[in-house]
Amino acid sequence: MPASTVRNLLVRGMLAGLVAGVIAFAFAFFVGEGPVDQSIALESTAAAPQHVHGGDTAAAPAAPAAEEEEELVSRSLQSTAGLATGVLVYGVALGGIAALVYSFALGRIGRFSPRASAALVAAAAFTTVYLVPFLKYPATPPAVGNPDTIGKRTTLFFLMVLLSVLIGVAALILGRRLAPRLGNWNASVVAGLAFAVAVTLAFVFLPGNGDAVRESFPAALLWKFRVATLGIQAVLWTAFALVFGLLAERLLAPRQAPAAPAAAPVPAA
């Protein structure tokens, strides 16, 4: 593929990522911020000091209040400008990377249209980069997780991302090599099963993070937060696939100009 076409696809991928980031931000603000606020409020209530009063005795003297740490960024700013900045930068970055992957994969994953190829690349990226690692190490609400295990959980999550991507690439190579002998459909099924088996083995042998959330934390709120987190990623990648597929199709398969009407035959003398 010419370098100019790759550059144009990169620009369109980043633009599609920006549009997808705007849509994902709207979803995160209206759907995801509710569980986050509830989690923070619940944690603040649990951390508040409890005053115990005796029957006939006076209330115990309060201990000297510890100086509260000054909040550098307010919660309202975090949930608006901060959230928007993070999601938009994330969308543009992933859009550019996905566009480069699309440029490499185009024509190598089958004879699909530009839109279909964009949908396949986005689906593969969502599955390997987020869905599979999320199933092993799901998201934890802020201010709720065990602070002593943050480093460990972060390392394990990115290790799972790396393994998922490598397994996905290996499954793709396996499918391409089996296609001449088994056919495209059978080779795809075998590659998909191999991917599922390898991911299952990774789930079994990698350590868990069961201590990430306290047992007393409400299960319904935890479920709501994790569904919202997964929904943000699903909305982001779906919007990217639709927008980038349209832009890529206009670039790679431009509409042909309508043919000029044929001249009327000249009557014979």
pLDDT in tens, 12-29: 999 999 999 999 999 988
- 249: pLDDT strictly greater than 80: yes
Q: Looking at the structure, tell me whether residues 229 and 206 fall in a common domain.
A: no
What is the per-residue pLDDT for 125?
92
Whether residue 64 lies inside any domain: the answer is no
Whether residue 62 lies inside any domain: the answer is no
Number of domains in the chain: 2
CB 91 within 8 A of CB 240: yes
- 95: pLDDT strictly greater than 80: yes
CB 93 within 8 A of CB 17: yes
Whether residue 190 lies inside any domain: the answer is yes
What is the per-residue pLDDT for 58?
43
Whether residue 69 lies inside any domain: the answer is no
- 74: pLDDT strictly greater than 70: no
What is the per-residue pLDDT for 267?
59
CB 122 within 8 A of CB 244: yes
Q: Looking at the structure, tell me whether residues 7 and 87 fall in a common domain.
A: yes
Of 159 and 149, the one with more pLDDT = 159
Task: Please give the structure tokens belonging to residue 236.
Answer: 């982001």
Q: Looking at the structure, tell me whether residues 3 and 15 fall in a common domain.
A: yes
- pTM of the predicted structure, to 2 decimals: 0.78
CB atoms within 10 A of CB 195: 21
Q: Looking at the structure, tell me whether residues 22 and 2 fall in a common domain.
A: yes
CB 229 within 8 A of CB 32: yes
Q: Looking at the structure, tell me whether residues 87 and 30 fall in a common domain.
A: yes
CA angle centred on 12, ends 14 and 104, rounded to 5° = 90
Q: Which among 111, 96, 128 is positioned nearest to 244, based on CA atoms?
A: 96
Q: Looking at the structure, tell me whether residues 121 and 183 fall in a common domain.
A: no
CA–CA gap between residue 114 and residue 112 (Å, rounded): 7
The letter for the amino acid at 48 is A
Judging by beta carbons within 10 Å of its beta carbon (0-12, 13-18, 19+), is residue 32 exposed, middle or buried? buried
Last residue of a domain, one of 212, 227, 244: 212
DSSP state of 5: H
Whether residue 75 lies inside any domain: the answer is no
Q: Looking at the structure, tell me whether residues 105 and 34 fall in a common domain.
A: yes
Q: Looking at the structure, tell me whether residues 197 and 131 fall in a common domain.
A: no
Q: Looking at the structure, tell me whether residues 156 and 250 fall in a common domain.
A: no
Q: Looking at the structure, tell me whether residues 223 and 188 fall in a common domain.
A: no
Under the banding of pLDDT at 50, 70 and 90, the label for residue 63 is: very low
With a pLDDT cut of 70, the percent of the chain lying above it is 75
CA–CA gap between residue 145 and residue 139 (Å, rounded): 10
Whether residue 265 lies inside any domain: the answer is no
Host domain of residue 179: 146-212
Q: What is the mean pLDDT of the chain?
A: 80
CB 13 within 8 A of CB 244: yes
Q: Looking at the structure, tell me whether residues 93 and 136 fall in a common domain.
A: yes
Task: Please give the structure tokens belonging to residue 231.
Answer: 């929904």
Whether residue 59 lies inside any domain: the answer is no
- 66: pLDDT strictly greater than 50: no
- Of the given ranges (50-54, 188-192, 240-244), which has the lowest mean pLDDT? 50-54
Whether residue 269 lies inside any domain: the answer is no
Q: Looking at the structure, tell me whether residues 151 and 27 fall in a common domain.
A: no
